[in-house]
Amino acid sequence: MILTLAGGVGAARFLDGLTRVFPPGEVYVLGNTADDTEIYGLHISPDLDTVMYTLAGLANPVEGWGIHNDTFESLAALGRLGEEVWFRLGDRDLATHIFRSNQLRAGSSLSTITAQMAKQLGVRSSVVPMSDDPIRTIVYTKHGDLAFQTYFVRRRAKDRVLGVTFQGALESRPAPGVLKAIRGAAGIVFCPSNPLISVGPILAVPGIRAAIAGRKCPSVAISPIVGGQAIKGPAARMMKTMGMEVSALGVARIYQELVDVLVIDTVDADLAPAIEKLGMKVVVTNTMMTGLPVKKALARTVVKALQKFRA
Amino acid sequence: MILTLAGGVGAARFLDGLTRVFPPGEVYVLGNTADDTEIYGLHISPDLDTVMYTLAGLANPVEGWGIHNDTFESLAALGRLGEEVWFRLGDRDLATHIFRSNQLRAGSSLSTITAQMAKQLGVRSSVVPMSDDPIRTIVYTKHGDLAFQTYFVRRRAKDRVLGVTFQGALESRPAPGVLKAIRGAAGIVFCPSNPLISVGPILAVPGIRAAIAGRKCPSVAISPIVGGQAIKGPAARMMKTMGMEVSALGVARIYQELVDVLVIDTVDADLAPAIEKLGMKVVVTNTMMTGLPVKKALARTVVKALQKFRA
């Protein structure tokens, strides 16, 4: 079984490829929930949903998030009732949040509900939240401490990030089965997600980082930074304003001790020697997942790297 | 100000006419909430919504309930997640329930939320729930005690009704301003709604029946039973199985002491003498609201009856 650490869109794209070249039933997705938020009293888990929709074949291929061809009648009607509508919830997407919120209030856990929904939608991989306990990314800015979705969606990630914290992480426990899955994995993959705010919170759940650090299987990361730019999202700007080097080398430094092989893009090939000095192997390939062929090729490269490192 | 006691579709049709022949800002709608239910954790107030949508010009002209041209994407997606979907909630309609449920959980009262929504939708009349406390119609049948929507929508009102009760009514209080509105009304109108399960629960809220019985203004009811049949819904069957006469005379008996004038359909003209013996005046007219002209004519007849009785 391959265990993957996953944020949102970047991870989902990689997982789309991985589950096409590797048995999907043997892929375990450990998902970030620190982006979760409550809107209109509904619990939204953007990263889990992005992964779930993608693996169910429902994802919006352009934006990466949400459901393909979704409509926005409910949202428009909420606007007419005076609600703010900056978080774009489609009608079909809303069903997920209504279902989840109802089950949560009935006492079910996020991991149980996520497994139930994924199964209903025909997803064969395990999609598991990092924790059933509430963990929330707070972004420190000059304009105050912002909830992640306020920073990211509402304010379009325009604020200079002074720091981040994962509220509730210290008191949280990994979701049931997570530590066992890490220990039993034949390979660990860090998806090309924001290392600070997508993978960071997963590693902040007590026990998870230690379990990965103590792994007996190979671990591969795909750099989400290509040519000094984040492929998607605010990762580059966040790394920069937090004093990190915005490059695959910067990513390597964050993942030191946790990753055996870093997959970097061909445009970053010159960084390989510096990354190798950190004690990692480097694989250079095309990581720009512009279409299905590249997704699958990247996934094959990662699977091969896992096998090669083991041998 | 005219104060109206209102159930769902029949009441909404009448109110549609009334607010076209009488200043809508001077119409006060006292609505039934005993049909309220919770679905997917969302609080649904079918009768209040039917009135609100109708007065906002949003109602579905065929069914009478729901929103015109609504779509059902969320409901279909909830079905794919394994939920039961026998209660037809449209996407735009869902926004109402999401908004209301969120505000209720935040501590707002049903009357405050209803007023807020009606205002946002441009409704100029006051739409007021009978109570902010939970009151629920329970229908006794051979198959057990059924929540009203289970009896009515899910089981299509097919069970023989042995009796009804309004759970919570005894402990409830009228919503703020209701008793004052009754006392200050220039006229009271019982809309053509089910007297047992639409108007019945309103009268079961302690204080409301007494306030209407002690009225200093005229009170007019429109019989929802025409030619021994209910125009809509299970009223006729319920009256019959509960041992009541299914006719305008049966309606008159239920409303004795509370109503000064009963408006009955021309097909029931022969019942006038028996109704008058109960101490009511009778007005005979066309009450089949098949279109806007009839709705307006009926409303004018009712307003005239109120004025005439006063004089």
- Please give, one letter per residue, the 3-state secondary structure of B193-256: CCCCCCHHHHHHCCCHHHHHHCCCCCEEEECCEECCEECCCCHHHHHHHCCCCCCHHHHHHHHC
CB contact under 8 A, A120 and B82: yes
Q: What is the pLDDT of residue A38?
A: 96
B269: helix, strand or coil: helix
Report yes or no: B162 at the A interface, CB cutoff 8 Å.
no
CB contact under 8 A, B102 and A73: no
Q: Kindly tell me if the per-residue pLDDT of A62 is higher than 90.
A: no
Chain A residue with minimal CA distance to B117? A81
Task: Name the least confident of A177-186, A254-263, B8-17, B58-67.
Answer: B58-67
For the entire predicted model, the pTM comes to 0.94
Alpha-carbon B101 to chain mean position: 21
Q: What residue ranges define each of the domains in chain A, with the CATH number in brackets?
A: 2-6+13-129 (1.10.8.240), 136-165 (no CATH), 178-310 (3.40.50.10680)
Q: Kindly tell me if the per-residue pLDDT of B266 is higher than 60.
A: yes
Q: Kindly tell me if the per-residue pLDDT of A311 is higher than 80.
A: no
Q: What is the pLDDT of residue A153?
A: 87
* Mean pLDDT across A141-153: 91
Chain B residue with minimal CA distance to A76? B92
User: How many whole angstroms separate alpha carbon B223 and alpha carbon A303?
Assistant: 75
Q: Kindly tell me if the per-residue pLDDT of B229 is higher than 90.
A: no
Computed over every residue of chain B, the mean pLDDT equals 95
Question: Which residue, among B20, B4, B9, has the nearest Cα to B298 in the 3D structure?
Answer: B20
Q: What is the pLDDT of residue B75?
A: 98
Q: Kindly tell me if the per-residue pLDDT of A37 is higher than 70.
A: yes
The pLDDT > 90 percentage for chain B reads: 86
Q: Amino acid identity, residue A24?
A: P
pLDDT tens digit sequence for B239-258: 888 888 899 999 999 999 99
Q: Amino acid identity, residue B101?
A: S
> Where residue B60 falls among pLDDT bands split at 50, 70, 90?
confident
Q: Kindly tell me if the per-residue pLDDT of A9 is higher than 80.
A: yes
Asked whether the beta carbons of A233 and A219 are under 8 A apart, the reply is no
Which of A:42-61 have CB within 8 Å of B? 42
pLDDT tens digit sequence for A205-223: 999 999 999 999 999 999 9
Report yes or no: A80 at the B interface, CB cutoff 8 Å.
yes
Would you state the structure tokens that stand for residue B176, as one six-digit string?
């703020």
Would you state the structure tokens that stand for residue A249, as one six-digit string?
């080398």
CB-nearest to A80 from B73, B80, B121 is: B121
Q: Kindly tell me if the per-residue pLDDT of B310 is higher than 80.
A: no
Label the pairing between strands B144-147 and B163-167.
unpaired
| A281: Cβ contacts below 8 Å, ≥ 6 apart | A260, A261, A262, A305, A309
Q: Kindly tell me if the per-residue pLDDT of A147 is higher than 80.
A: yes
Q: What is the pLDDT of residue B23?
A: 98
Q: Kindly tell me if the per-residue pLDDT of B159 is higher than 80.
A: yes
Q: Kindly tell me if the per-residue pLDDT of B278 is higher than 80.
A: yes
Q: Kindly tell me if the per-residue pLDDT of B311 is higher than 70.
A: no
Chain A residue with minimal CA distance to B94? A74
CB contacts, 8 Å: A73 with chain B: 70-71, 73, 90-92, 95
Q: What is the pLDDT of residue A224?
A: 95
CB contact under 8 A, B96 and A77: yes
Which of residues A60 and B121 earns the better pLDDT score?
Answer: B121
CB-nearest to A73 from B78, B91, B96 is: B91
> Where residue A234 falls among pLDDT bands split at 50, 70, 90?
confident
User: How many whole angstroms separate alpha carbon A74 and alpha carbon B94?
Assistant: 6
Number of other residues whose CB lies within 10 A of the CB of residue A243:
7
ipTM entry: 0.92
Computed over every residue of chain A, the mean pLDDT equals 95
* Mean pLDDT across B89-109: 98
User: How many whole angstroms separate alpha carbon B152 and alpha carbon B217?
Assistant: 35
Q: What is the pLDDT of residue B239?
A: 84
User: How many whole angstroms separate alpha carbon A78 and alpha carbon A40?
Assistant: 9
Report yes or no: B87 at the A interface, CB cutoff 8 Å.
no
CB contact under 8 A, B99 and A116: no
Q: Kindly tell me if the per-residue pLDDT of B284 is higher than 70.
A: yes
